[in-house]
Each structure stands twice: as structure tokens, then as C-alpha cells.
Structure 1
């Protein structure tokens, strides 16, 4: 196979886009874009860090933009906004029109399935969306060409990552003992919480679900609390992110410690997450392993201890879905 043809696992979430390539490269980048062309100007001749793209649905800008548009809506997986964010992430990995890709992306569990069967309409529209080759950089950049595109359910992609293992030579194989275990995957992402209970390639629908809880809810709760704390000052996305990651924020030139506010916002959402998890997995005695995955699991790591005796929080929890998608792409589309 040509070195310019690659497999890719693309976890195109509402808060972050995580991509793993078959050549070993990977990236996690914010799912941030705004409609229109950026009007930011670099005063010292340096690159501004903002990239603008044209699509059949209008122009978009990504990168170091001041205000991004919401991605937490049902139409995001089939939108031009999604196409631009994924194309830009692949650009950051060094790919362009000289590269071709076979990729796998994901959908939340309850959107991947509909009435106990595959949601073929949405899956089909998502597959087609990223293959619309209309994203062009205003600087002349043309993105990598997606030749084949398949879709997995989020959380189940994390299970695939556990069941399909790679040996030191790179060959993939199914670990039968792992496949035969009853495994629960708790995937805490940007917009959604996915819970999947799987054994021998069969999903237990009664104990599997999707709930609208994730990091975006924590950020929203934090922004509301900071608005009250600063007496009606509406902080920017950049300021809220600074508060979330450093527990400090600069407002009107002064640095404020806001760790207690961050904790309050976090716990308000964490309690909802735990209530959903315990409701779905209240009968967990027959479950061999409970895995926590997803980028928000990394953020919540200190709060997730001892929920279940048989739980595991992976060291690379944020990339578990993307890794599973890559393995599925290689296994199903290429080498076996």
C-alpha cells in the first residue's frame, strides 16, 4: 500500500476532534469553527493561527478564533462545520490532497441505533458528508481525499479497542477471551455520556444508553457561575477555558482564583453522570470489567474512583474511541 494512503480513526466529537492515523501520528484539537472569514490581523507579520476555508455552504474559519459556534446540535455530524473541522485536523497532521484515506468515525449510541436497528439514514448521511470534497483553504490548501468511510457507535468503538489488539509487528487480532467477557464501557465525552454493555459482539440494549451530559455541560455551568461571581461580566470562551484548566482567570486585568467555582460546576454535572451510570448498571455483579473512556473521563479522573470494584480508567482514555475506530478501519477495510 502507498505511504500516501492511510487508515484513520476519527473521533469527531462536539468538543474535541481526536484522530489516530495508521502511520502512528495522532492529534487532539478543539472542535471550534465560526462561519465567515476571520478579520483577525497579525500586527508583527507572524501567522495569526487562524485558517479560513470555503465550502459549498459558505466560508468558515478555524484555529485561534475568539468565538466559536456551537457544535452541540443534532445536525453537526452531517454539517459543513464538521467537514471543515475534520479537514483542518487532518491538515494539522500534515495531510493534503496527495493523501487518500479510509476512515471510521462515530455517533452516540442512541443516534447510531434507532428502534433496535441501525439508524441507516443518519449513518448514510454522515458517511456522505465527509466525502463531499468541497473544503478548500483560501490560501490554496486542498485537503486529503476520503475514499472510504464507515461509522461505529461511540463507546462500542472503545470496546473494539479493547477486544482487537495489535502485536509488536503491527498485526491486529481479536482476543477471544476479552470478546467473551461481559464488559461495560462508560464513555464520557463532550456532549454525551454513552454507556454500552457488550458480550460476544452483542449489545445489551437494556443496560446501554446515551444521555446528554458531558464536558460542554460543565463549561456551561461554569460560565453561568462566573457570570454571577463577576457581577454580570460575560466572560469569553478563552477566559472560561482558562478558568477550567488553570482554576484561575484574568478579568479586567486582574487574576482571580476560581477553583471553588470550577469544583461547584464540575460536581453539579458529575452527580448527574453518576446517577445515570448507577441507574443503568445497578445490577453489575455479572460484569467482568467496567471501563471509563472519553476526554471528560480524563478531566473527572479524581472523582471516578471506586464507583465499581471491577472498574478501570485507562491511561489513554481520551483516545480509546479513536484507537478503536482505527483498528476497525484497518481490520475491516485493509489488513486482517
Structure 2
């Protein structure tokens, strides 16, 4: 981590120059949700998920206090699922955007990590981190790091003196980070599965906006075979958008909302249907399980076809590791399409990057563990 640092008895990190505790924390800044992982005062890994919803609605409590409001670069933002007109963040600049900086601050606030000195890890999708040739895209990493180290500005928590106290920032590749969640336990030791996993491994990371597919070759190093790695622009948000469209149409057919392109439904309704299959609307419970299954199956099929096209022969992989929010949403279809996959949860990128960051600080592994190369074929 720092050139002069050591680990204290309570598992926090301390800098020699200021003798202050530093908390390790990683934010996997997804398009659907921000997933946070950090090491608490007892040395345990904690996680938290915050919806990636931000807008400019001015919300306040019934006592007149501001609610989840922030100010950055002269603009006031609100981070809450009830925002009526959320900002569209599905663009290539999102990791280095002001909105992302505000959302990370919001997540840190919800985790009660503001004011504490933090060593922050942030993430980029696989193909935003590595080029098709396997080289790191340095400008993307630098822009993302600059968004949080104070270079691009800070975030004010309205109605509070709390602020993010970020002492250092590192940027990690998603999908690759998930492998470290698979390979390392919470104490930073190699898992039993990792000890026996050699050869080709597939990582399938189904996020909000993209699905990353990575072919790792595991021996005494970790190598990326870029011929069988890539990304496709499809993810959980595609399911949410299609589900929202279908719900609106059913409600229009029932005469419950106006038949208009501008017709709106409650912002949280789609998430409720996605999670439970039903929701309360217009005075009674409405069941959308059939619609949810049809839409999810359609998006899952598209994802699976893209993944298989990228990976080539599935039989060559010693392990197929599936992670991201889509690992939960599309579980039924993924477990049918791939033989005995290792199903990680949506926190695996944040947790894996955190484990890697801690082990680098501990000196257990070298900072440059991955070795991306362009390889014509699998030996």
C-alpha cells in the first residue's frame, strides 16, 4: 500500500508519517448497483449494496432536513431510488464522472466510512481496463483514479460536515478481481479450490451494462488469453428496461395508466417485480412472474450465446466462474447452460479486489500478479 506502513493489532492500516488508521475499502461502481467491501475494526470483510440511482430532485424530510443530497462541481445531486428522473449513466465516461464520484461518496456514507482515512479501490470493466491486445489502458485508469484522489474535485454532503477522507486510490479490473475472490479466503490464504485449479479458467462477469468474459490460464502465474476474452453490451439493465416496458404495457391493457410514451410507473416498482415477481399497484397485488420469466429468459439467452461465442469450446475450462448481479438474476439459465459452474455473488469483484489489496499490503503477493498477453491459441 504505502511505502511505509504496517498492520496494527486491530487489523487496520497505519501510516508512519501521520500515525493514523487507514481503512481498506473497494467500490465496484456498477451501472445497476454500487457494491462496497471493506475491512472493519475487527478485521472482518463487510459488504453493502447501494442502487446506482442519482438525480437532481430536491428531497427533504418532514422535519426539513436534506435527504441523501450532495454537491459536487457546483451541482446538487440526490442519491435515492425514489428520484423521479434519474440521470442516464450508461456511457463510457461513467467511471470518471462527477456522478460516479457522488455515488461512491454516498455508498461510503451509508457504510459509515466518511471522515475515516481510507485507502480506496475502484473498478473498471475488463475491456475498459485492458485493450483487445491485453495492454492496460493507462488513460482510463488514470482518469478513474483522478476522479477520487481530489484532482477532479470533492463532494460535499449537504446538511453535514462529514466528508470522504481518501488518502490513496487504486484501480482494479472487474472479472479479474472476481478470480481473487474465488482464489483467496477472507484471511487472504489460498482456498482449497484454488490450490487445485490449473490450466484454463473462464470468468463470466454479468454486470449492469456489460458482460465481461475472461479466459485465464493458471500456472505459476496468471495469464489472460485475449483471443478468448471480451465484453458484450448486455447485462442486468437490459432485463430491467425490457421488464419495465412489459409492465407498462400490461398496466395500459388493464386501463391502470395512460396509453402514452410518457406514461410513468413508480421508480421502485421494477426492482420489486424483478426480486419477487409481484408488486402492489392501484390498490392490489399484481403478479408479473410470467412476464419476468419470459423477459429474463430472452436476455439470458443473448448473454449465454455471446459468452459461448467468446470462450469457444467449453470443455477446455477447468472451472467456469460466474459472478456479478446477473449471476443471481439469471441463475436458472446459467446453471443449465454451463456444466457445474462456480456461482459467486454480486460482491465478488469488490471483495476480490479488497483481498488482493490487503495481500499486497501484507507482502503476500506482488502488485503485478496478472500478465495479459495476446495468444493465438490455447496450448
Paired residues of 2:35 and 2:48 also in contact (CA < 8 A): yes
Gaps of 5+ in 2: 1-12, 15-19, 253-258, 365-379
**Structure 1 equivalent of residue 351 of structure 2:** 323
Mapped to 1, the partners of 2:308 and 2:149 lie a distance apart of 39
Paired residues of 2:228 and 2:312 also in contact (CA < 8 A): no
Mapped to 1, the partners of 2:290 and 2:158 lie a distance apart of 44
- Alpha-carbon shift at residue 295 of structure 1 (Å): 1.5
- Alpha-carbon shift at residue 227 of structure 1 (Å): 2.1
Paired residues of 1:191 and 1:214 also in contact (CA < 8 A): yes
- Please list, as runs of the form range in 1=range in 2, the aligned pairs for 1:269-284 lying within 5 A after superposition: 269-284=299-314
Find out whether 1:42 has 2:57 as its counterpart: no
- Alpha-carbon shift at residue 334 of structure 1 (Å): 4.7
Find out whether 1:247 has 2:265 as its counterpart: no
Is 20-29 or 287-296 further displaced after alignment?
20-29
**Structure 2 equivalent of residue 209 of structure 1:** 230
> CA-to-partner distance for each residue in 1:129-166, whole Å, 9 max, x for gaps?
01225111111233232222222221111112223344
Alpha carbons of structure 1 residues 172 and 143: separation in structure 2 relative to 1, 3 Å: farther
- Alpha-carbon shift at residue 174 of structure 1 (Å): 8.8
**Structure 1 equivalent of residue 73 of structure 2:** 56
**Structure 2 equivalent of residue 221 of structure 1:** 242
Query: Which of 144, 162, 169 is 2:182 aligned to?
Result: 162
**Structure 2 equivalent of residue 140 of structure 1:** 160
Taking structure 1 as the reference length, what is the TM-score of the superposition? 0.89
Find out whether 1:109 has 2:129 as its counterpart: no
- What secondary structure sits across from 2:335 in the alignment? coil
- What secondary structure sits across from 1:34 in the alignment? coil
Gaps of 5+ in 1: none
- Please list, as runs of the form range in 1=range in 2, the aligned pairs for 1:274-313 lying within 5 A after superposition: 274-313=304-343
Is 287-296 or 233-242 further displaced after alignment?
233-242
**Structure 2 equivalent of residue 26 of structure 1:** 47
**Structure 1 equivalent of residue 139 of structure 2:** 121
Find out whether 1:230 has 2:251 as its counterpart: yes
Paired residues of 2:156 and 2:163 also in contact (CA < 8 A): yes
Alpha carbons of structure 1 residues 25 and 91: separation in structure 2 relative to 1, 3 Å: same
| Structure with bigger gyration radius | 2
- Alpha-carbon shift at residue 246 of structure 1 (Å): 2.2
Mapped to 2, the partners of 1:27 and 1:47 lie a distance apart of 24
Taking structure 2 as the reference length, what is the TM-score of the superposition? 0.80
